[in-house]
Structure 1
Amino acid sequence: MSQHEHDAGHASPIKTRKPLITVIALALLAAILIVVMLSQFISNMRSVDKDSPAMTPEAVAKRLKPVGDVAFADTGGAAETGAAPGAAAGKADGKKIYEANCSACHGSGVAGAPKAGDKAAWAPRLKAGMNALYASSIKGKGAMPAKGGNTALADADVKAAVDYLMGLAK
């Protein structure tokens, strides 16, 4: 094997030591320059001008201020205000409570819930009596959670919704 055959397989633009040393030095210089630039960038990100108008306590408080407020409405205040028994179980209140809490399942029969107005489905439940219906509505039964999933409802509100629902089934 001759020297010429061995060199033919390695075609490199750098043939002597001087360009090789120059390329290595430039590569190291570029790497150092990149590290310095990145460290400057990162250190400038962390520094905060405390005299900036954006950093005043008023500006910070304005940025942290809540966007909105939450308000809770009373769903059946008649029972809590000492009204006469049965006043809270009016048709209008029962309808509103039913529509807000019960109609999602009892309107379409989801999870085996008897549909509103289906006399055949409600007949065995009506035979058990209203007290049994009230108890299962307040405590939950089968897939139905207690108070239709709204534990904030008063028992009188649940009874009003049951009365409304039973009125549809009669």
Structure 2
Amino acid sequence: MCHAATRAMKAGFFPSGDESAERDARAVLAPLRARRNTRVIASPARVARETAAWIADAFEIVPAFDDIDYGRWRGLSIRDTGTREPGHVAAWLADPQARPHGGESVAMLAARVADALAFSDHLNARERCIVVTHAIVVKAALAHALGMPLASVYTMDIAPLSATVLRRASPADAWTAELPHASA
């Protein structure tokens, strides 16, 4: 599940990791309230923790589901960064291996997310798991699970509070996906 929107998202800034949710969405998320046999995991980012708290009384924080590290672009205006560093921003948006900001490349993020998904194979098969994370993490998970080229993350649009369901019967089976549907 993609976390709630933040002011930084709406204003066009790279996340800093400490943004809070723009508005309280607990009423909108009431149908997703965690039931018995539901494990809730959140990214360490503040907005992901807040969103997870709206659907569960208790949740785990798993760093593998954290947002991509935007390096020196963290907290900066996307527009201003594009004006100052057009070649670097263009490279980052076109090449999953690029990391001109000094942080993580999309490929590095994807490897981290793939490892986290492998962890889910060890969960009780009857256990439902909700992961509250970031749009780019959901995109990387989809690309990995469906065997899509990593560059496909640049063509996906994942809205705040949307849910994407990944399923497979066992580690030997292929993943299936129910693509994003809005919770809000």
TM value normalised by structure 1? 0.23
Larger RCO (CA within 8 A; separation ≥ 6) = 2
Larger Rg: 1
As a proportion of its length, which structure holds more helix? Answer: 1
